[in-house]
Amino acid sequence: MRDGFTADDVSAQTGRTFLITGANAGIGFEAARVLAARGGRVILACRDESRATAAIERIRADVPKAELSFRRLDLADLDQVREAAAAVLAGPRIDVLINNAGVMIPPRSLTRQGYELQFGVNHLGHFAFTGLVHRHVDDRIVVTGSLAHRGGEMDYSDLGAERGYHNWSRYQMSKLANMLHMFELDRRLGAAGRATQAIGCHPGVALTELQRHLPMPLRYLAPLAAPFFNSAARGAWPTLHAATGAHVQGGDYVGPQGLGEVTGRSGPARTAGVARDPALARELWERSIDLSGVDPGI
């Protein structure tokens, strides 16, 4: 796998269809903009239609002929996830599914089914959606990780965060779950003889709307730190690399190549050893089936 990937390395995507969760803002928006500019058809799968419509208008201001559409997807409600998946299955086939949407360190909140929001949205909602639509995806399933996964631990004892809530450790756990899901998904797709592959990516440290729940002093300091971190556009480079890179293969994990993988061009990224633990991945897979009620069947 060659390193040094940027948006300029995205080849023509004419005739290819991409579905991006959370594409109305931040990294998802920037990825959608680049893919549309390269001729790809992009489905923005988002919770809020008005924000998705505004994003589509912004992209079309730069790319007048962009092929863009909206699909409602609320990852915090597993019933709605099923509705969204059914609508996707009734439409054209997808070349690349990009699981990008996420929440980061919010105040304690729950999904409609009662799971802590970060685990529920970042992992469980995406697990269910992917499990329902994966047979409709022909090429790649991109799972968005984070540097934070390296400090994560899987703990299923209090998924509603009723006995205590530490927002950062819950975020770390959700991102470790993303990594375990990606590796296990790719393994199972391969074992089933599928051509579709799962690939992971992380944006480094990118200043996006995802940081809106940072403590107020840090939010005020963020503009001063901006020169040292990725913009949303640069943070999207690993996403675009995973989705379109010619040298990327199933089970690869890409991210920024700068010091500490914080910024820079996209290339091979480092994972925590626990993220590649097959027993832990199988346990998460089976628990996720029970928690979501969705069995991917692979």
197-201 and 137-144 as β-strands: parallel, antiparallel, unpaired?
parallel
- Residues serving a catalytic function are 171
- Strands across the sheet containing 17-21: 67-72, 41-46, 17-21, 94-99, 137-144, 197-201, 253-256, 266-268
Query: Dihedral of the CA atoms 16, 181, 28, 42 (nearest 10)?
Result: 20
Query: Letter for the amino acid at 13?
Result: Q
- For the chain, list residues with pLDDT below 70: 1-3, 208-228
pLDDT of residue 50: 98
17-21 and 197-201 as β-strands: parallel, antiparallel, unpaired?
unpaired
pLDDT of residue 218: 45
pLDDT of residue 230: 74
pLDDT of residue 199: 99
The conformation of residue 7, written as its DSSP 8-state character, comes to G
pLDDT of residue 219: 46
User: Could you tell me the residue ranges of all domains in the chain?
Assistant: 7-290
pLDDT of residue 220: 41
Alpha-carbon distance of 170 to 186, in angstroms, equals 25
pLDDT of residue 214: 53
* HEC profile of 159-174: CCCCCCCCHHHHHHHH
Q: Which CATH number fits domain 7-290: 3.40.50.720, 3.40.1190.20, 3.30.1490.100, 3.40.30.10?
A: 3.40.50.720
Q: How far apart are the first and last CA of the chain?
A: 27
Kindly report, residue by residue over 202-253, the tens digit of the pLDDT.
999 977 655 454 554 444 444 545 455 779 999 999 999 999 999 999 999 9
